[in-house]
Structure 1
Amino acid sequence: MRHTLPIAPQFYVTAPQPCPYLAGRMERKLFTALQGEGAERLNNALSQQGFRRSQNVLYRPSCSDCAACLSARIDVAAFTPTKTQKRIARRNAHLSRRATSPWATEDQYDLFRRYLDARHADGGMADMDVFEFAAMIEETPIRSRVIEYTDPASRALIAVSLTDVLDDGLSMVYSFYTPDQPKASLGTWMILDHIEIARENDLPYVYLGYWVPGSPKMGYKSKFSGLEVYVGGQWQKMTDPETFSATIHPLSTDPIAEQVANISLPDRHPTRR
């Protein structure tokens, strides 16, 4: 099904498929292609409206009777680490960070496979081969970086994040890490380090993807102070995770045509400076 605004881009809706976060539910996505000379502006504009990037596609959940998935970001200025997060930062302070161009390597893929086999063996990416992995990393029409974390002593690759650089922050597109160090809390550590990178570059936000109330897989995101979620067409501070519901309701989601009509698109011909 296609839905078109008076100007490009065109928006489409995926067919329903099983939800990876809440058992017994079906998910559906609203998406558009990310291409052409306006890709950077489109990615910035739609990221601020709850969309996420996957290769050359921008998407947002649009389930017919469920609105549990909420885009989440951390307000860097409002973030204060907890005692547990401080311990995690100290525990991983020895790791070395290196930001590179979005180019896939064998070491990255080996780590990716070990991560999936240990943590997401039954997930949608479980069968991804090396070519599909390379496409995930390299097929980006915008400013993206691969941030690698290594152990200086062993020179082993410990963790990787594919990260987009937006006008107003960093977007953690996909991250993975060694499954052999569960006490290191590497997933949390990478978010903490991205907060530091954002501060170093005067970027106000770190975009984390979706937070889903009722999903154990996503519970860690609500533990970060300064968290904001995109609800009802605007960002709002996360005060108490318990106030958000994953209840199904037939009026949870606006009709697709209304959703598309309410999307703010960037100026196709911005003023040159």
Structure 2
Amino acid sequence: MDFLKNKNLIFRRTLSFDCSYLPKKKEKRLYINIPKSTDNQNLVSELTKNGFRRSFDHMYIPICDSCNMCIPSRINIKKFKLSKSNKRNLKINQDLIFKLDSGKRNNERYELFKVYCNTRHNDSQMAHMNKDEFESFFYNKFNKTIIYDLFDSSNSLIGSILMDIFNDGYSAIYSFFEPQFRKRGLGKYLIIKSILELKVQNIPYLYLGFWVKNSRKMDYKVKFNNTELFVNGEWKEKTKFS
């Protein structure tokens, strides 16, 4: 991590706080605010490649005192192949439309986001986000992003996924969907469709953030084939750690 030696970059440590993933655990983070410059693509790309994750206007990595369960994960797009489970998911949702954000659904997207958070994650920081905070998070101007939306046959917005764009791939920052369709596996569907879109564009990796072995919320990240984990400063196939 040569960027840690760059004296022009200011990294800070948080105090310990309750872990978002594991009960009775404390979390501590090393973070850097994303520079307010249009010339930060290389920095955020390098940080992500070295395990950092974006949250709002900063990049962070856990540096917990007594736990190292948060492991950065990504999917090798070139090697990825649809599993039987993936194919079933695509078939179930074949009536849906997955397409690039048109810029005309911002209000609907926020309303759907609130319904999703209040239904599925009402104890999270996201559930308390107001519209200004949501727009700052979803439509930030500090790095390149892309949004794909999901529509049903009546053209109603039922899901969205926000991804950051980096030099060697995309990073799935946040996704949400209409809770009444949870049995259709829309969270998984948004990831699968994103992978297939990146495959067409010959984009090498889709970063998924931290996998936490004993967290049900994060377990889905290693259920895609050709997942790689960042361990001891290197990206390695997940199978080598199974």
TM (norm. structure 1) is: 0.83
Cα distance in 1, alignment partners of residues 178 and 159 from structure 2: 6
Partner-residue secondary structure (3-state), 2:64:
coil
Partner of 1:130: 131
Q: Amino acid of the residue matched to residue 134 of structure 1?
A: E
Q: Amino acid of the residue matched to residue 14 of structure 1?
A: T
With over 3 angstroms needed to count, the CA separation of the structure-2 counterparts of 1:37 and 1:135, relative to structure 1, is: closer
Q: Which runs of 5+ in 2 are unaligned?
A: none
With over 3 angstroms needed to count, the CA separation of the structure-2 counterparts of 1:102 and 1:142, relative to structure 1, is: farther
Partner of 2:31: 31
Structure 1 vs Structure 2 CA RMSD? 1.7
User: Which of structure 1's runs of 4+ aligned residues deviate more than 6 A?
Assistant: 101-104
Larger Rg over CA atoms = 1
- Please report how far the alpha carbon of residue 7 of structure 1 lies from its aligned counterpart in structure 2 after TM superposition: 2.9
Matching of residue 147 in structure 1 with residue 144 in structure 2: no
Partner of 2:54: 53
Q: Which runs of 5+ in 1 are unaligned?
A: 244-273
Preserved contact between residue 98 and residue 193 of structure 2 (Cα < 8 Å): no
Cα distance in 2, alignment partners of residues 107 and 27 from structure 1: 34
Q: Amino acid of the residue matched to residue 157 of structure 2?
A: L
Identity percentage of aligned residues: 32
Residues 32-57 of structure 1, C-alpha deviations (whole Å, 9 max, x = no match): 12122431110111110001112321
Cα distance in 2, alignment partners of residues 6 and 14 from structure 1: 20
Partner of 2:227: 227
With over 3 angstroms needed to count, the CA separation of the structure-2 counterparts of 1:129 and 1:106, relative to structure 1, is: same
Cα distance in 2, alignment partners of residues 79 and 240 from structure 1: 17
- Please report how far the alpha carbon of residue 118 of structure 1 lies from its aligned counterpart in structure 2 after TM superposition: 1.1
TM (norm. structure 2) is: 0.93
Cα distance in 1, alignment partners of residues 107 and 38 from structure 2: 31
Residues 80-101 of structure 1, C-alpha deviations (whole Å, 9 max, x = no match): 2221111101122222222237
The correspondence of residues 65-144 of structure 1 with structure 2, limited to 5 A, is 65-100=66-101, 105-144=106-145
The correspondence of residues 215-254 of structure 1 with structure 2, limited to 5 A, is 215-239=215-239, 243=242
Residues 234-268 of structure 1, C-alpha deviations (whole Å, 9 max, x = no match): 11110166x4xxxxxxxxxxxxxxxxxxxxxxxxx
With over 3 angstroms needed to count, the CA separation of the structure-2 counterparts of 1:15 and 1:235, relative to structure 1, is: same
Cα distance in 2, alignment partners of residues 172 and 8 from structure 1: 28
Report the count of equivalent residues: 238
- Please report how far the alpha carbon of residue 17 of structure 1 lies from its aligned counterpart in structure 2 after TM superposition: 0.6
Cα distance in 2, alignment partners of residues 119 and 180 from structure 1: 11
- Please report how far the alpha carbon of residue 103 of structure 1 lies from its aligned counterpart in structure 2 after TM superposition: 8.4
